[in-house]
Structure 1
């Protein structure tokens, strides 16, 4: 593996600052460390604003509804077609991706887990293991990448200091759902460890919708002397999931529980094994300089029988992330880099399910055999300086270099399609300003970002590397205000933004499993995001905490011509104009909480011509939990809930620009679950 000379330079420069700092006798104070909850450190750098969900918010909608959880954040929209079919868009970025999540960076604790093609798989992580979810909207993250969508950081629960306990939670619910989470956590002065095993099975709401998952998570931290710390992390998820696929409008409205006929006949499914292993070493030098370096390995084994063929793929990835932080010239700097390489092997086979007498998929002859070697280098630096007592500024720079090397292992001679594509380096500067108020703070930022094309966009339907495809590029402007009023019992947040994107990546569907990518015009993303939380005691024992998150998306094509069709001026496909998440928590002391939450999603344009839209919908969820300390060592926790209280038939996810083949209607809709119930029992033993 060759190490980029740019990376060597970025890692060497901090030693110069360290050497200079050693000559000084004075002690420079460390920059402020912001904690989110229970010792979980905020991951963003300097004055970069972010949005965070903590444990109490993640428990409002039960252990499985990740969409309702993520969608509590304004500007962030997770579309979920099933437990294994999720797509996240942030401020409209990623809305044109048909399957999966791209155009953002996903981190698990300190480790980047987005693959070499830019795709992230959030279903590889169990929601019950999370202590906080932090989101950076737009490309302003710098040290967390400058993807146009932003970054999402999943933070695991940390053991409580000085405690040892064994906890088990069991949940049952509709669709024969059973979930169990068994956790052991131990913490002392210089060492902590957390080991969690989880199991989930459910038949699902629809035909061919069964899901079974097993997961193991190990995290541990060991202090190495007075200055060092070693963190270990291992996460493995294995699941099999039936695929009911999308429905046309008639079937969606009349029988949303059915599966698509072809997928049902093939008994289509996917089997996945995800593994992530990482080691992070942190060291505090003399003076202000600190370093955190992570090395990690990712592995994916994916097998998916589909009606049109069977996909078999394996991805092996290796990476390094190193970050230096310290003080220089009266300010705070961050300097570091990420190096990620993966080898993606995939092939397709005939699916002979029609010859299998109704027993589902059976593998036939090989149709293709491919490899792709992908590499990404991200180098970044930020510098934050206090200009006055209340006013500070931060500049940042990110350099990305991406290379794809495609190998055709199936065809020989003139039919061989091997090719290499090295994208031009992308330099993404940013500027952020913060003004501290007596009861809040104001932010302003301008940042440049980019999105790499995914695999389907880099290849033509014939499997040849498309030499004309280039990266999306955009500039984001943002104003944000955070306010803490009424003795901090009322928290308000308001953001307005404008992002202009050019070289828009479009994956045009030309067959049942064939797409061609191209750059097609420009989009304008502008919007308003409002969030409010309020906590008010209504008696000596009861506290009412209402909350609200509102999103206004005014996103449109500025210049988009597709053949003879001019869609310029149309609203951006796949994005609802308005969304509202609201509700309240009613708490009785620290023991009992009753929650009601509401989600409103506006209609979503499904075609670039805006000729068809999904229906707007409103969904109500209710839940309650009760915790009691039974003895000095035993704690009991009960919870129950109802999701989709009024049994609304709505699309949890949609496909844009769907095409019907062989005279069939296009299939735009993934039905969400109907009314469903769950209940849980948790026991914890404190040693």
Structure 2
């Protein structure tokens, strides 16, 4: 392999120097370092009051290749990431978002408490390095009152916490199939009243398929420092710069015969996307008293995106900014939160001719401008929750979220035309949330009723002629949920079970009218109902070996209740893009000497690909394995080695699909994003504590 070892030479030269410094330091002055792995139950959740959520930690992330965010998050029941490539991910929660053609919407995402969902409702999980994350918390459904009440819910990403009273340097270096190379170099410092973490990461790979090269560099700064006895400040800066070639979807023949292929037009144009993204935010926390606290954040985000496609070249940039303020506290038997969040962005985009066919095989070439547009988008949320404990066992929560959304569109390319500008000002919508919780000796029972919504994007509110469609409405739904958690056999077995049902009205569907042109419309009603179950068990096989099997099962019984498209009535059909059954399972073995083995498995049932229910993707099973070893070389230096094999049995499977695909010019419809074939990775992790 032709590997460019960026970041590694620096660390290899640094380690001997650090080791010599360590030899001059008395051993009793430095505590031996070994990374602290927090269990999921040990990490405090941010879901307010009695709102239930699911959380995974670094313990889950480390079962997988450090480039594989989807496999880690897919361990959560009810949550499924369809991943077409490192840069092409669609997150669905309980079937919400499954009909979105590309990307993730209908939920809100937060990074260290700062909103990172843009003004049109899109979120990008690929903007974050898995090795920098300490936890991912998911609030399923619209009960996330303090985080937006979106139909899909909310995803809360948190960076790793600095080890208290430590200064350390950590480098993780990984190589793998398809010329994959990844390096993450992190410096952390913690002392009384001050914590700081600075990380640089680099990733490059040729990819499994044609035209799937990827290269990313990122920088993350996270600091917190006390400014007084009652106040503290936090600064967050996240910067990424990546270029990702786009292999796109393929038809069934190519998927079965050679899934590494890319469509000829994407291959000839060498289609790709280049992104420069920065997020920066400052948060201030003030403790008024032991009963009241406030955290206020201001933030700014910038995205510069350039994407040559076979049909045109998209050039866009977005400036986003806003604030979030939340008060939380307690009084007698009552806990409360209330606050507000404003997000505004300015989106500038234009398209150009792509003259790749006249470029002598050199890929995309920008031609004449075809469009020039600006959009101003604004969302405002007010929220509050009140949780009252009637007894030590029984409590109830009531919450309200008020949302106001506004879009303003201007066509600068056709200034003066009748449809050169458009404004859509949605009515304010009030969204209630009611939950009750009963605790008993070995667990708890809870019930929830909540109301949620999803905004159409501005593009969905426009007709093909660029005129605002006043008839398109927000999706709205009411969620009913009943669940329980159990801790049995001296807390060796933990179980979570949830039943839910949600009816979504004014279903937004994207109707394809061109190769990359969609219009939105409200098309009826869907019913989302299902069962989610998570089981975790831990037992000692001997004094030195711990055995931990786990299982997450999802039953999706989602269907169209009322859905007509012209003369076609799809009422009663299964919801497109959602597997009925999904299972994630695995076994962790851990030895006291630092040796660890992770075996993981995922089953995904067939997925309906068309609204007519005439075609389904095949169900599949995928198995992964990883072996890791950690040891301390000295009180200052620790070393970790790992190696893994993904897709052990080399299954040919669709890791993502495009529903209702249309073949143009007599070509077969392209439904499939193939998953990687059998592939390996191996890594080394070295850390030094000063």
TM-score bucket of the superposed structures, by smaller chain? over 0.9
**Contact 1:36/1:132 (CA < 8 Å) preserved in 2?**
no
Paired with 1:129 and 1:155, the residues of 2 have a C-alpha distance of 9
> SS at 1:119's partner residue?
coil
Query: What is the aligned residue count?
Result: 653
The equivalent residue for 1:60 is: 63
Residue 206 of structure 2 corresponds to: 203
What does 1:479-498 correspond to in 2, within 5 Å? 479-498=482-501
By how many angstroms is 1:482 displaced?
A: 0.5
SS of equivalent residue, structure 2 residue 582? strand
SS of aligned partner of 1:42: coil
In the alignment, structure 1 residue 672 sits paired with structure 2 residue 675: yes
Cα deviation, residue 36, structure 1: 6.8
> Superposed, which structure 2 residues align to 1:352-431 within 5 Å?
352-431=355-434
Alignment of 1:253-264 (within 5 A): 253-264=256-267
- Give how far 1:189 is off: 1.0
Q: Is 1:83 aligned with 2:86?
A: yes
- Note the alpha carbon deviations across 1:356-414, whole angstroms, 9 max, x for none: 01100010011000000000001000000001220000000000000000011110223
Aligned match of 1:500: 503
Whether the 8 Å contact between 2:333 and 2:390 is mirrored in structure 1 is no
- Asked whether the equivalents of residues 139 and 449 of structure 1 are also in contact (C-alpha less than 8 Å), the reply is yes
| 1:330 Cα deviation from its structure 2 partner | 3.2
Please say if residues 450 and 473 of structure 1, whose CA atoms lie closer than 8 Å, have aligned partners that are also in contact.
yes
Contact 1:628 1:635 in 2 (8 A): yes
| Aligned residue among 584, 587, 591 for 1:588 | 591
Deviation (angstroms), 1:456: 3.3
The SS at the match of 2:189 is strand
1:457 shift after superposition: 1.3
SS of aligned partner of 2:267? helix
Indicate yes or no: 2:454 matched with 1:451: yes
TM-score (norm 1): 0.94
What secondary structure sits across from 2:659 in the alignment?
A: coil
**Which of 619, 622, 625 is the matching residue for 2:628?**
625
Q: Distance in 1 between matches of 2:585 and 2:233?
A: 41
Of 274, 281, 284, 2:284 maps to 281
Q: 2:15 corresponds to which residue? A: none
The answer (yes or no) to whether the contact 1:476–1:499 under 8 Å persists in 2 is yes
- Supply the distance in 2 between the matched residues of 1:329 and 1:593 (Cα, whole angstroms): 47
CA contact (8 A) 1:40 1:131 kept: no
The aligned residue for residue 332 of structure 1 is 335
CA distance in 2, matches of 1:527, 1:331: 32
**Displacement, 1:286?**
2.6
Once residues 576 and 615 of structure 1 are traced to their aligned partners in structure 2, the CA distance between those partners, rounded to angstroms, is 10
Q: Distance in 1 between matches of 2:678 and 2:162?
A: 35
SS in 2 for 1:457: helix
Structure 1 residue 579 corresponds to structure 2 residue 599: no
Instruction: String of CA shifts for 1:536-588, please: whole Å, max 9, x gaps.
Output: 00111011000000000000000000000000000000000000000100110
> 2:148 matched to which residue of 1?
145
CA contact (8 A) 1:639 1:679 kept: yes
Which deviations, in whole Å up to 9, do the C-alpha atoms of 1:218-257 show, x marking residues without a partner?
Answer: 0000011111010110000110000010001111111100
CA contact (8 A) 1:410 1:416 kept: no
| Aligned equivalent of 2:9 | none
The aligned residue for residue 296 of structure 1 is 299
Partner Cα distance (2:416, 2:458) in 1 = 23
* 1:475-498 residue CA offsets vs partner (Å, 9 max, x unmatched): 000011011111111100100000
Aligned to 1:11: none
Q: Distance in 1 between matches of 2:399 and 2:364?
A: 51
Q: Which residue of 2 aligns with 1:537?
A: 540
**Deviation, structure 1 residue 640:** 0.8
Do the aligned residues in 2 keep the contact of 1:456 with 1:507 (CA within 8 Å)?
Answer: no
- Matched with 1:308 is 311
Deviations 1:8-28 (A, max 9, x none): xxxxxxxxxxxxxxxxxxxxx
Question: Are 2:263 and 1:266 aligned?
Answer: no
Structure 2 counterpart of 1:518, from 521, 526, 529: 521
Quote the Cα distance in structure 2 between the aligned partners of 1:231 and 1:466: 43
Structure 1 partner of 2:225:
222
In 1, the alpha carbon distance for the partners of 2:570 and 2:91 equals 24
Deviation of 1:461 (Å): 2.5
Q: Distance in 1 between matches of 2:42 and 2:407?
A: 39
Q: Secondary structure at the match of 1:596?
A: strand
Q: Does the residue aligned with 2:468 lie in a helix, a strand or coil? A: coil
Structure 1 pair 456/208, CA: closer, same or farther in 2 (3 Å)?
same
Q: Report the alpha carbon displacement of residue 467 of structure 1 after superposing the two structures with TM.
A: 2.0
2:66 touches 2:130 (CA, 8 Å); kept in 1? yes
Question: C-alpha distance in 1, partners of 2:593/2:375?
Answer: 53
Deviation, structure 1 residue 514: 1.1
Residue correspondence of structure 1 range 164-179 to structure 2 within 5 A: 164-179=167-182
**Cα 1:39/1:686, change in 2 over 3 Å:** farther
- Give the conservation status (yes or no) of the 8 Å contact 1:570–1:610: yes
Q: Give the CA deviation at 1:466.
A: 2.2
Q: Distance in 1 between matches of 2:338 and 2:39?
A: 23
Task: Identify the residue that residue 127 of structure 1 maps to in structure 2.
Answer: 130
Say yes or no: does 1:605 pair with 2:612. no
Contact 2:601 2:621 in 1 (8 A): yes
How far apart, in 2, do the equivalents of 1:219 and 1:450 lie?
Answer: 33
Task: Tell me, yes or no, if the aligned pair for 1:295 and 1:319 is still in contact at 8 Å.
Answer: yes
CA distance in 1, matches of 2:132, 2:429: 35
Query: Is this contact kept in 2: 1:38–1:160, CA < 8 A?
Result: no
Aligned mates of 2:342, 2:64 — CA distance in 1: 37
The aligned counterpart of 1:32 is none
Per-residue deviation at 1:459?
Answer: 2.1
Q: What is the SS of the residue equivalent to 2:351?
A: strand
1:155 to 2:158 alignment: yes
Whole-Å separation in 1 of the counterparts to 2:517 and 2:593: 55
What is the CA distance between 1:415 and its match in structure 2?
A: 4.9
Match of 1:643 in 2: 646
RMSD (Å), alpha carbons: 1.1
Could you report, residue by residue, the CA deviation over 1:82-122 in whole angstroms, capped at 9, with x for unpaired residues? Answer: 00000000000000000000000100011010000000011
Shift of 1:464: 2.7
User: Is contact 2:249–2:262 with CA below 8 Å preserved after alignment?
Assistant: yes
What's the CA shift string for 1:591-629, capped at 9, x where partnerless?
121010000000000000000000000000000111100
Paired with 1:454 and 1:611, the residues of 2 have a C-alpha distance of 29
Bigger mean CA offset, 449-458 vs 350-359: 449-458
Unaligned runs of 5+ in 2: 1-37
* SS of equivalent to 1:120: coil
Task: Tell me the residue number matched to 2:119.
Answer: 116
TM-score of the two chains, using structure 2 as the length reference: 0.94
Return the alpha-carbon distance in structure 2 between the equivalents of residues 529 and 330 of structure 1. Answer: 31
1:14 match: none
Q: Do 1:503 and 1:521's aligned partners in 2 also have CA atoms closer than 8 Å? A: yes
